[in-house]
Amino acid sequence: MSDFTDFRQYAETLMGVYAQCGAGPFLHRQVADFVPRQAIVRFACKNYFLRVQDRNGHRAREGPKVWRLHPYVVGLCRDRLGAAGGECRE
């Protein structure tokens, strides 16, 4: 489990994902213009991105991977937006 101490290092990219998709699920193609595929894997390994599961708790075996931001990262993004005077997206 990541302790998210390196959030500042990735804040610009993570804030971009949050601004684009909010706290909801997203596909790589939605954020591909500013998040390369290698970064998706890196963020997943550090638990910044979590795979979306169905209601039975299973990940899809086929098709595109659906991601979401870790709830703690969403909170960090909201805090940073609040400090900057920005609006939060749900």
Task: Report the run of H or E that residue 51 belongs to, with start and end.
Answer: strand 49-51
Tally of domains in the chain? 1
Q: What angle do CA 43, 7, 48 make, to 5 degrees?
A: 30
pLDDT of amino acid 85: 62
Q: Is residue 2 part of a domain?
A: no
List the chain pLDDT tens, one digit each, 90 residues. 567 889 999 999 999 999 999 999 999 999 999 999 999 999 999 999 999 988 888 887 777 889 999 999 999 999 998 776 655 555
CATH code for the domain of 11: 1.10.10.10
Q: Is residue 12 part of a domain?
A: yes
pLDDT of amino acid 53: 84
pLDDT of amino acid 89: 52
Q: What is the pTM of this model?
A: 0.82
Domain containing 27 equals 7-84
